[in-house]
Amino acid sequence: MTSPGDATPVKPPPSFSPGVTRVASPSRYPEEHESAQSIDVQLAESQSASSSTPPLSATISDLPIRSGSPHSRSGRSSTPQLARSSIGSPFDGRADGSEDIRSLIIRSFSPTIAVHASEDTEHLVRNKGFKGGFWELIRPFGETVSGKVVIRDSIGSSRAWEDYGVRFVNFKGIGKSTPSRDSGPLAQMEEVLTKQLDSSEGLMGASVRAKDVLGFPAATPLFKSYLQQLLCVAPAAPHETFGHPVANVIAISSRNPAPLETLRQLYADSTTGDRHLPDWVHQEYLRYYVLVHDEERDDITESTKLYDQMKRHFGLHCHLLRLRSSQCVVTDDDSVQVPQCEWLSPSEHLSGAGEAGTLISNHGRKFANLHSETLVDLGTDGTPYLFDSDATAIRAFIRELVVQSVIPFMENKVAVWNDQVASRRRGISGRFISMSKRWAFGSSSRSGIAGSSGGNSGNYDSTQHFYSPDSPEAVLRKMADFAFMLRDWKLSTSTYEMIRSDFGNDKAWKYHAGAHEMCAVSMLLNPLATSAKIKLDSVDQLFETACYSYLTRCSDVPHALRCLSLAVELLKSRGGSATESAAKWAMRVMDFGLVGSVGQILYTERVAACYASKTPVGAAKWGGRRRKAGMWSTLAADQWLKAGKPTLASACLEEAERLYADVLEADGVFPMPEMQGFVDNLRHAVKVEYLEARGFDARDRSPNEDPLDTEETSEKLDKRSHRRSLIGLPVQLDAGALNTQGPRDPENPNDDFERA
Amino acid sequence: MSYYFTILSPTDTPLFNIAFGTSKGGGDGIARFRFPETAQYMNQFIIHSSLDILEEAQWTNGGMYLKHIDTYPPAAAYISAFLTPSGARFLLLHQPPHLPSSTSTGSGLGSSSLLGSAGSTTRASSSSVAANPTSPQTEEAVRQFMNEVYENYVKTAMSPFYKQGMEIRSPVFRTRVTAAGKKWL
């Protein structure tokens, strides 16, 4: 059960059922047919999903909701009939795939909300089966706020977003990064990748690539999950405030004997106590108070009274959340599955993979999940269930939290800072100040660095490597980040632009890199600046600087990789000539050796995707990069094969064939003899390994009784002419050499192969 | 610097291939590409993929010599192109030598002998042409080379025994191209 926002654009085609494994990939269908079909599926999905969740207003109406909030919006009118793509996104006319990645990137920079719950609340929630407490309970629901979220930008125009989300983090975890971990986050990502690959090969070795469904420019689910992990891998750091809490949810339960005192205690904990946040976090964040009411044991009148009292004490930022305290199991009448967390860090993936049971009964569901979106959901078997009423209550709570408190708070902050700090800087006097600082103290700052003591020009603490959170530089950075999270990319671009040179002057290299990176990213995300308007050169320059600062000056590999990956994906989604520089950055990633061996292959595929997405224009078909894309795809196939993944290799090879089809005279016949030889060998090797992976011996199989051939005819897929990567090969090439291991199967009946 | 020179027909069929190394600065004229010995097909892949760029560049550039049109960064391979009026394309892939630091374990004599690149050791042959593949000197040297090859190509194509689109098998042409390579590159 997913909320309408959860309906993913990547849907398996109806024919893509586990039984008929590879043949059903409709990548040869005409493009229009595909897209129409996928949109239909998407619409149907979103409708069914939304219709089965009861309307929010019905359940909200019986909650004691305050009225007359100054910022109350008409945001509750959720119209689930409209597909997300029709309203939520301003990037029309782009391919589904890049749209998807773009939305992923936008959603990855969502506001962080800390959760700080009292002991009794944690106890209540733990009884419901959530070991991590209140935070774990609400976290998956925060990733998509139900309904539309209306955000006003700096010039006062509003726009509605369907896919807005927030990220809940455990208050205790902020700023306590764990550098003691044995392997870095990138190594962990690589490990997750390997695991995912193994599991997907293990599950019948079926092709689990949504790429076949959407056509090539779409990212593979594998890469999507890689990118997702990459985007949430960075812990809260001084130099960017995306991980800093925008708000803190302080929760108590109705079981608490002394509620108001506990709330005070929790508040004090978060500001002054030993749990308070690191020095570089701005202390002015929103506090939100939640009273969790136990529907089964406690009296609602008591709770309402207490809630009224809370409102009187703490103002408007309160909520009464009504939950049932008993644990829900699958067999209960109104049980719903808790949605999966989309944004899991690699370490969470790994720990989740550890506890994933090997439930055979769940096999089907697991497989369906694999097809629908991710390869990742290894932890789903342990996913707890919730009562429907609870899920609805939590969704309503999060919606109210975001729409009525967090967003207005952020808008307000941006307006205030823009007014007080940024405009002062923008004015003529501000320019003078910064310039005089630069010239007058330029020398002293240099000597200050040399002596590694204070006396630096400005507010940068060069011993601890951060700006104090009240300094104008830090405030401006925070303001730009807020604007970015509110998706006001115009304002964030101009703000990053303003501060990026300051950081360079102060030799705050991480800040410097971060500002350059985000400046380029927000420039690319700004939908109003069309590709003609912004200069791609300047964007390239910004990425170059950011990358240099991250890598050479700070040797911060995860951030550098994130920066370059963002560059690749955003430039690719720009289309046109930007795809070339996207491909260039992807090659740079491989060149720098930022990724492991599997990552290398993924980025090889990305280069192919970048080139493939450059479509020829005009009647003369200029400007296509089909040959380049085909080459990279072939190379990726080669690498997958070397990595022992013939399924993926065959998919890549097929893609290469598709790309080459336009530019070659005859199907699969290359003009160059050595290319031809290489591709023939590759095809053959892929085929042999592919069959071997299923326990077949391909040695003495003549093309006539090729099982794939048989399958094809039995499937009646007359739209596809033939599968060029696998049939029609000269089998007598050198199968014997490739075929040493594994005993021969004397019968290998064809029917069995289809089930294998 | 190692070179791979190809003449492609208008339908992308290769008419002539030759691989050679630089002869400047004490070079012995033997090609040493950066690919492992089994991956010499990469030259053809790179040349083939650069046709994408060539097809675009030939309409935007008036000259016959298109200069450096494409790069393949992972192997630092640079492509220069020359157009003939009949539609045949001359493509020259040039690749600076390995830096001594990079990993180049010699190699078994696999298919490499095919292209005459018996990979033994890397030898930093640094001439002015080899130093920078995109420098004006290199562009000029390649232009001279292309012009000389073009002259010979025209002579070969006018032979009564040669039909348009046939592979060029003339040994005279091959030696002349080799000589041009020795002279200019």
Split into its structural domains, chain A has a count of: 1
Q: Which domain holds residue B94?
A: 2-184
In a domain, A549, yes or no: no
ipTM: 0.83
- Number of other residues whose CB lies within 10 A of the CB of residue A603: 27
Residue A754: pLDDT over 50: no
A613–chain B Cβ distance below 8 A for any pair: no
Alpha carbon separation from A145 to A141, A163, A392, A405 (Å, rounded):
7, 7, 12, 13
Asked if the Cβ–Cβ distance from B59 to A620 is below 8 Å, we say: yes
Looking at beta carbons, which residues of chain A come within 8 Å of B74? 587, 590-591
B102–chain A Cβ distance below 8 A for any pair: no
What is the pLDDT of chain B when averaged over all its residues?
Answer: 78
| Rounded CA separation A119/A134 (Å) | 10
The answer to whether A385 and A337 are in contact (CB under 8 A) is yes
In a domain, A147, yes or no: yes
| Rounded CA separation A46/A83 (Å) | 7
Looking at beta carbons, which residues of chain B come within 8 Å of A624? 52
Please report, rounded to a whole number, the percentage of residues in chain B having pLDDT higher than 70: 81
Summarize pLDDT for A411-432 with one digit per residue, the tens. 999 999 988 888 877 766 666 6
Asked if the Cβ–Cβ distance from B48 to A627 is below 8 Å, we say: yes
Looking at beta carbons, which residues of chain A come within 8 Å of B49? 627-628, 630-631
Nearest to B33 by CA among B24, B44, A19: B44
The answer to whether A448 and A462 are in contact (CB under 8 A) is yes
What is the pLDDT of chain A when averaged over all its residues?
Answer: 71
Summarize pLDDT for A155-176 with one digit per residue, the tens. 888 889 888 999 998 887 776 5
Asked if the Cβ–Cβ distance from B46 to A670 is below 8 Å, we say: no
**Which of A587, A627, A672 is closest, CB to CB, to B74?**
A587
Asked if the Cβ–Cβ distance from A631 to B49 is below 8 Å, we say: yes
Best of B15, B42, B45 to mutate (most A CBs within 10 Å, chain A): B45
Split into its structural domains, chain B has a count of: 1
Looking at beta carbons, which residues of chain B come within 8 Å of A673? 14
Alpha carbon separation from B171 to A366, B90, B161, B165, B184 (Å, rounded):
65, 18, 14, 17, 20
Residue B15 CA, distance from chain mean position: 13
Amino acid of residue B119: G
Give residue A260's pLDDT band: very low, low, confident or very high (50, 70, 90).
Answer: confident
**Which of B11, B14, B49 is closest, CB to CB, to A627?**
B49
Asked if the Cβ–Cβ distance from A674 to B51 is below 8 Å, we say: no
CA distance A520 to chain B (A): 23
B19–chain A Cβ distance below 8 A for any pair: no
Looking at beta carbons, which residues of chain A come within 8 Å of B11? 665, 671
In a domain, A114, yes or no: yes
B161–chain A Cβ distance below 8 A for any pair: no
pLDDT (mean) for B105-128: 36
Task: Tell me which chain B residue has its CA closest to the CA of residue A664.
Answer: B12
| Rounded CA separation B55/A700 (Å) | 44
A606–chain B Cβ distance below 8 A for any pair: no
DSSP character for A462?
T
Task: Tell me which chain B residue has its CA closest to the CA of residue A612.
Answer: B52
A31–chain B Cβ distance below 8 A for any pair: no
Task: Tell me which chain A residue has its CA closest to the CA of residue B58.
Answer: A622
Asked if the Cβ–Cβ distance from A672 to B49 is below 8 Å, we say: no
Task: Tell me which chain A residue has its CA closest to the CA of residue B53.
Answer: A623
Residue A237 has what pLDDT?
82
Residue A740: pLDDT over 70: no
* Rounded-to-5 percentages of helix, strand, coil across chain B: 40, 20, 40
In a domain, A475, yes or no: no
Give residue B83's pLDDT band: very low, low, confident or very high (50, 70, 90).
Answer: very high
In the stretch 573-592 of chain A, residues with CB closer than 8 A to chain B read: 584, 587-588, 590-591
Beta carbons within 8 Å of A661's beta carbon, 6+ residues apart: A667
Task: Tell me which chain B residue has its CA closest to the CA of residue A676.
Answer: B41
Residue A17 has what pLDDT?
37
Q: Residue A269: give its domain's CATH number.
A: 3.40.50
Residue A309: pLDDT over 70: yes
Radius of gyration for chain B, computed over Cα atoms and rounded to the nearest angstrom: 16
Q: Which residue do the tokens 């400007």 mark?
A: A623
pLDDT (mean) for A68-89: 34
Residue B28 has what pLDDT?
77
Q: A547: which 2 tokens?
A: 């990358």
Q: Which of A544-548, A655-659, A695-699, A736-740 has the lowest mean pLDDT?
A: A736-740
In a domain, A214, yes or no: no
Asked if the Cβ–Cβ distance from A631 to B52 is below 8 Å, we say: no
Looking at beta carbons, which residues of chain A come within 8 Å of B115? none
pLDDT (mean) for A491-509: 87
In a domain, A399, yes or no: yes
Alpha carbon separation from A326 to A123, A125, A237, A297, B56 (Å, rounded):
12, 9, 39, 10, 68
B51–chain A Cβ distance below 8 A for any pair: yes
| pTM for this predicted structure | 0.73
Q: Residue B52: give its domain's CATH number.
A: 3.30.450.70
CA distance A587 to chain B (A): 7
pLDDT (mean) for A45-63: 40
Alpha carbon separation from A97 to A275, A351, B96, B168, B178 (Å, rounded):
43, 30, 38, 46, 49
**Which of B8, B44, B56 is closest, CB to CB, to A623?**
B56
Looking at beta carbons, which residues of chain A come within 8 Å of B59? 620, 622
Asked if the Cβ–Cβ distance from A584 to B73 is below 8 Å, we say: yes
Asked if the Cβ–Cβ distance from A625 to B52 is below 8 Å, we say: yes
CA distance B169 to chain A (A): 16
Residue A652: pLDDT over 50: yes
Asked if the Cβ–Cβ distance from A627 to B52 is below 8 Å, we say: yes
Beta carbons within 8 Å of A653's beta carbon, 6+ residues apart: A633, A634, A637, A682, A683, A686, A725
| Rounded CA separation A743/A731 (Å) | 19
Asked if the Cβ–Cβ distance from A631 to B46 is below 8 Å, we say: yes
Nearest to A337 by CA among A380, A399, A396: A380
Nearest to A716 by CA among A87, A24, A8: A24
Please report, rounded to a whole number, the percentage of residues in chain B having pLDDT higher than 90: 25
Q: Which domain holds residue A395?
A: 107-177+242-338+385-417
Give residue A354's pLDDT band: very low, low, confident or very high (50, 70, 90).
Answer: very low
B143–chain A Cβ distance below 8 A for any pair: no
Residue A517: pLDDT over 90: yes
In a domain, A443, yes or no: no
**Which of B45, B59, B73 is closest, CB to CB, to A631?**
B45
**Which of A591, A625, A674 is closest, CB to CB, to B41?**
A674
B99–chain A Cβ distance below 8 A for any pair: no
CA distance B77 to chain A (A): 14
Residue A186 has what pLDDT?
79
Residue B25 has what pLDDT?
72
Residue A515 has what pLDDT?
93
Task: Tell me which chain B residue has its CA closest to the CA of residue A624.
Answer: B52
Please report, rounded to a whole number, the percentage of residues in chain A having pLDDT higher than 70: 65
Indicate the SS3 state at residue A21. coil
Asked if the Cβ–Cβ distance from A675 to B59 is below 8 Å, we say: no
Residue A637 has what pLDDT?
92
Beta carbons within 8 Å of A78's beta carbon, 6+ residues apart: A4, A55, A56, A146, A147, A148
Indicate the SS3 state at residue B127. coil
Give residue A691's pLDDT band: very low, low, confident or very high (50, 70, 90).
Answer: confident
Summarize pLDDT for B53-67 with one digit per residue, the tens. 888 888 887 888 988
Amino acid of residue A69: S
Interface contacts A/B by beta carbons within 8 Å: 57
Looking at beta carbons, which residues of chain B come within 8 Å of A588? 73
The answer to whether A641 and A649 are in contact (CB under 8 A) is yes
A618–chain B Cβ distance below 8 A for any pair: no
Summarize pLDDT for A312-345 with one digit per residue, the tens. 888 889 999 998 888 887 777 788 888 888 888 7
The answer to whether A724 and A668 are in contact (CB under 8 A) is yes
CA distance B74 to chain A (A): 7
Give residue A57's pLDDT band: very low, low, confident or very high (50, 70, 90).
Answer: very low
Task: Tell me which chain A residue has its CA closest to the CA of residue B11.
Answer: A665
In a domain, A54, yes or no: no
B74–chain A Cβ distance below 8 A for any pair: yes
